[in-house]
Structure 1
Amino acid sequence: MSETVQANAAKAPAPDSNRWKALVFIALAQLMVVLDATIVNIALPSAQQDLGISDGNRQWVITAYALAFGGLLLFGGRIADLWGRKRTFVAGLIGFAGASALGGAATNEALLLGSRALQGAFGALLAPAALSLLAVMFTDSKERAKAFGIYGAIAGGGGAVGLILGGFLTEYLNWRWTFFVNIPFAIIAAAGAYFVIREPVGSRNRSPLDIPGVVLSTLGLVSLVYGFTRAESEGWSDSTTIGLFIASALLLAAFVVVESKVKAPLLPLRVITERNRGGIYLSLGLAIIAMFGLFLFLTYYLQIVKGYTPVKTGFAFLPMIAGMITGSTQIGARLMNRLPARLLMGPGFLVAALGMLLLTRLEIGSSYTGVLLPGMLLLGLGMGTAFMPAMSLATLGVEPRDSGVASAMVNTSQQVGGAIGTALLNTIAASATTAYVKDHIGGATTQSQQQLVQLQAQVHGYTNAIWFAVGILVAAAAIVFTFVNAGSVDMNAASESVDGAEDDLKVPVIAH
């Protein structure tokens, strides 16, 4: 064993400051993409009023982005493998900047929705390229731990940062700045990446593009994401909603069959059937379901029930961000090479579940410091600790030619998880709220009593949904303990695998 470790250490790349400079620009791009998932939410009421968007169509400002981003991620990941990660990353950033400029300058509903769809499409190019660049650039175990610690903190906490920034821009400037703010982010990241990033030689996939796989996966994922989005607004029994779920199941089943037959598949099944990566994708998707639902409920709770301004609401999420950064960079990154991933991820999800459990105690008069603060701290700490090894392990040991699509699967599980979480938990909350009003409104004789019942019903709905989120996080922990069995020594093995891959792309998967 000691000889193997010495040999791997000898093969580890020499320290290269360019890699760390590159990480700055990759992290900046990732922050921009994650911010965009939430920054527009706070600005939506202002944009709706300014452009005359109907209540029925306002959801499309969010949905257009989610559909394009979620549906095209696998395609974007394979493009990164075929065309080159650096080139795809820079092209994605430039396109994202252009789409953001179009959205900020939109004079009508059609332009705004079109710009959101374009943002999603270019986000689907740059997000998997960013993660796969980290995977092929940081092969030394210690460097990899630090790099993925930073990336994991941004991926986990960026959504909450988006709420703060969205609040500031909307309250003090204009809703259009929630789009324009992306332009300097994108230009700086693209320029820095172009001059700094040095992609390892020989890691590109030269296979022809799997067109049937692209069509089936894109249509299948779009149907799935749209099905959950529609279920939130139209109900689960709506015939179109049911039809979308059936179509998604058939399309994705056909996609799996095609991928098992073609010579150069869009998603090589070896990427998802390896037990560690399969466990990572599934547990991450479940964790995001719980987390996205919580963002939604806490935003409404703070603004509607507690009367917080958009800016104050954003700042209220700071403990969660602090917890994520601490868990990712100080716990996950420091222990990733000493403990098996499941002993970080499993307990991490359980600590996050404990934080959620505290938040089930929410009432109209709950104090921020007594309930929300400790709950969000624990949630952030647990998620940060779990995300860090998950991001690294999801791309560890995969063939370099497949790193783009493996990275895309991480983003896909998060995007689909977000769509499911928002729809599923919101439906649970709405049902509980309606039932509470029905049971209690009869005893309210004055207008103030009726308003109180309405607020109590909303909080009752939120806490009911949060109970489900607790269970989902416990399920994510159970999946980790069941499927993820990679040990910390795999980090060293990865270095040897990727070094050898530059000459021969036949790289072994994660060793157990």
Structure 2
Amino acid sequence: MTGRAVTAKAVAERPRATSPWLTITVLCIGQVMIVVDQNIVNVALPTVQRGLGFSAENLVWVVNAYVVPFGGLLMLAGRLGDLIGRKRVFLVGVALFSAASLLCGFATSEATLIGFRFLQGVGGAIASACILGMVATQFTDARRQAQAIGAYSFASAGGGTVGPLLGGVLTDLLSWHWIFFINAPIGAAVIALGLRAIRKDESQGLDKGTDFLGAALATAGMMLLVYTIVDAEQAGWASARTLLLGVLALALLAGFVVRQARAERPLLPLRLFRSRRLTAANAAQFMVIAGMFGLLFFGTLYLQQVLGYSALAAGLGFMPVAAVIAAISLGLSARLIMKFGQRPLLYLGLVLITAAFVLLSFSRADGTYSVDFLPASLLMGIGFGLAAPAMMGLGMAAVAPEESGIASGLFNTTQQIGGAIGLAVMSAVVTARTSGPEAGSADSFGSGGEAARSALLEGYHAAFLTAAGFVAAALVLAFVLLRGTPGTTSRSHS
């Protein structure tokens, strides 16, 4: 073979150069698609119930059948990304998620929709577990890495706020089937672009870290824990079923921890938690997301049940929050992180989020959007736009690139568990405050009268204050655990 032929062959085999920002765009589109799906269904539930004849007690499983596998499989999927390649795992997850979405849209009964939603949750977990890890490793430059994590933060938060609006538009203009059908073309585009834009990452190989027993314990324990939390509202927190399942879930997770301490190649190396950055970032995220679910869930209820907004109008009411988070996360956070460090921005963001929830606790039954909701939601958008990139940057900087998949899965897991526990706690608080006959007389748009709206509002105020408590706890945890650690974006194992 001539030297020219050898050179041509080498050039042909050389990996194609792709823009890191194109890669991040593809990954963030995938993240938005998955996050939107967690919220888009809520608005369409009444229509789904009428269309498929769902019973009232089974309707909640249209949501929960997705949440249970999603929360339970994230760590396993993240570790698989480290072992067999994060690009491969991500694309397989997107393909499964998109196919399951189509099946959900074609569902003709309770059983088929719930089953396909479970499959959709599996695909969503597999895809999302590796996204943050891939985003965080695209750049070694601290400023660009902060910008990339800011983009991911916006994708996660923006998807949550867009979901209710998109669900209302699709349900009103087309049908509930389209809240699932819409994922198919988006997923196909993500796969097509991802095959070219995402560079192939180094994989360690299954023989380098397969802990099947640990994977089984972690997956079973997390899925059972999530199931117990979401089922407790129906079964009762003090019921024998909830207590038994809760004890069993904790026993499985305790077994997982013991296994990780003894395994030669653990699924989740416990030494990662020696890093105060990683521990503080995950603990803070757990509490912050527990609180933020209060805005998405009870903020929507306040707009609809107290102020009388339609589902579509309530969804539009969250657009300013998304715009503020975008402006901070995509444009300002990286510059501020480089100037002041991550810790100060995290502290400031958590203070602003706490203050916003306290402000919401003063909202009025006869209030207006511009006075009682918009200022607090904008303040919350600024706070989250500052805190989220700093929080994720601190955590991902604490792990080596070859462990970014499991770290990404861990972040997503704490997010899911935090949201489930936070919503369950706040729902219990609201139920305790609104169990009287006045609150019970209001329908879904608060038409039960002024007394009914006031009774509901008292419960929502309690939920907002509980959310403020969650975020204030995150601030305390972050301050205690991060004292003395560097506040920059440098990758270290402190």
Common fold by TM > 0.5: yes
Aligned counterparts, 1:383-462, within 5 A? 383-435=384-436, 437=438, 451-462=449-460
* CA distance, structure 2, for counterparts of residue 467 and residue 435 of structure 1: 20
Shift of 1:247: 1.2
Match of 2:468 in 1: 470
The amino acid that maps onto 1:468 is T
* CA distance, structure 2, for counterparts of residue 394 and residue 169 of structure 1: 37
* CA distance, structure 2, for counterparts of residue 399 and residue 86 of structure 1: 17
* CA distance, structure 1, for counterparts of residue 425 and residue 319 of structure 2: 26
Superimposed CA distance per residue, residues 197-233 of structure 1 (whole angstroms, 9 cap, x where no aligned partner): 1134467675141111111111111122112112222
* CA distance, structure 2, for counterparts of residue 408 and residue 418 of structure 1: 15
Aligned counterparts, 1:3-402, within 5 A? 18-201=19-202, 207-402=208-403
The amino acid that maps onto 1:409 is L
Superimposed CA distance per residue, residues 338-378 of structure 1 (whole angstroms, 9 cap, x where no aligned partner): 32322111110110111111110122211111120001001
The amino acid that maps onto 1:272 is F
* CA distance, structure 2, for counterparts of residue 282 and residue 428 of structure 1: 22
Q: Which moved more, 1:152-161 or 1:31-40?
A: 152-161
Q: Which moved more, 1:429-438 or 1:206-215?
A: 429-438
The amino acid that maps onto 2:300 is T
Match of 1:497 in 2: none
* CA distance, structure 1, for counterparts of residue 371 and residue 320 of structure 2: 13
* CA distance, structure 2, for counterparts of residue 212 and residue 449 of structure 1: 54
Q: Which moved more, 1:303-312 or 1:415-424?
A: 303-312
The amino acid that maps onto 2:493 is I
* CA distance, structure 1, for counterparts of residue 328 and residue 350 of structure 2: 11
1:487 equivalenced with 2:486 (yes/no): yes
Contact 2:26 2:194 in 1 (8 A): yes
Shift of 1:52: 0.8
* CA distance, structure 2, for counterparts of residue 192 and residue 80 of structure 1: 19
SS of 2:57 mapped into structure 1: coil
SS of 1:363 mapped into structure 2: coil
Shift of 1:465: 1.2
Q: Which moved more, 1:23-32 or 1:120-129?
A: 120-129
Q: Which moved more, 1:215-224 or 1:376-385?
A: 215-224
Contact 1:43 1:167 in 2 (8 A): yes
Shift of 1:17: 5.3
The amino acid that maps onto 2:470 is I
Shift of 1:449: 11
Contact 1:133 1:199 in 2 (8 A): no
CA 1:469/1:397 → structure 2, altered by over 3 Å: closer, same or farther? closer
What are structure 2's unaligned runs of at least 5 residues? Answer: 1-16
* CA distance, structure 2, for counterparts of residue 154 and residue 131 of structure 1: 11
Match of 1:445 in 2: none
* CA distance, structure 1, for counterparts of residue 206 and residue 473 of structure 2: 36
Q: Which moved more, 1:451-460 or 1:54-63?
A: 451-460
* CA distance, structure 2, for counterparts of residue 76 and residue 260 of structure 1: 20
SS of 1:175 mapped into structure 2: coil
* CA distance, structure 2, for counterparts of residue 344 and residue 206 of structure 1: 41
The amino acid that maps onto 1:274 is S
Aligned residues: CA RMSD? 2.0
SS of 1:434 mapped into structure 2: coil
Match of 1:501 in 2: none
Contact 1:89 1:130 in 2 (8 A): yes
The amino acid that maps onto 1:487 is P
* CA distance, structure 1, for counterparts of residue 353 and residue 48 of structure 2: 34
Contact 2:304 2:314 in 1 (8 A): yes
* CA distance, structure 2, for counterparts of residue 449 and residue 135 of structure 1: 48
Shift of 1:67: 0.4
Shift of 1:142: 1.6
Contact 2:136 2:148 in 1 (8 A): no
* CA distance, structure 2, for counterparts of residue 233 and residue 453 of structure 1: 27
Contact 1:359 1:463 in 2 (8 A): yes
Shift of 1:393: 2.1
Shift of 1:318: 1.1
1:510 equivalenced with 2:493 (yes/no): yes
Paired positions, count? 473
Superimposed CA distance per residue, residues 39-58 of structure 1 (whole angstroms, 9 cap, x where no aligned partner): 01111111111111110011
Match of 2:3 in 1: none
Superimposed CA distance per residue, residues 304-360 of structure 1 (whole angstroms, 9 cap, x where no aligned partner): 222212211111001211221223223322122232322111110110111111110
SS of 2:449 mapped into structure 1: helix
Match of 1:498 in 2: none
* CA distance, structure 1, for counterparts of residue 447 and residue 219 of structure 2: 50
The amino acid that maps onto 2:477 is I
Match of 2:11 in 1: none
* CA distance, structure 1, for counterparts of residue 299 and residue 323 of structure 2: 17
The amino acid that maps onto 2:107 is A
Shift of 1:450: 6.7
TM-score normalised according to structure 2 size = 0.92
SS of 1:361 mapped into structure 2: coil
CA 1:423/1:30 → structure 2, altered by over 3 Å: closer, same or farther? same
Q: Which moved more, 1:335-344 or 1:418-427?
A: 335-344
Contact 2:275 2:398 in 1 (8 A): no
* CA distance, structure 2, for counterparts of residue 303 and residue 355 of structure 1: 20
Superimposed CA distance per residue, residues 148-206 of structure 1 (whole angstroms, 9 cap, x where no aligned partner): 11111111221111111111111111111110111111111111110111134467675
* CA distance, structure 1, for counterparts of residue 338 and residue 493 of structure 2: 15
Shift of 1:146: 1.1
The amino acid that maps onto 1:148 is I
Contact 1:287 1:473 in 2 (8 A): yes
Shift of 1:436: 8.0
Q: Percent identity?
A: 36
Match of 2:14 in 1: none
Q: Which moved more, 1:268-277 or 1:456-465?
A: 268-277
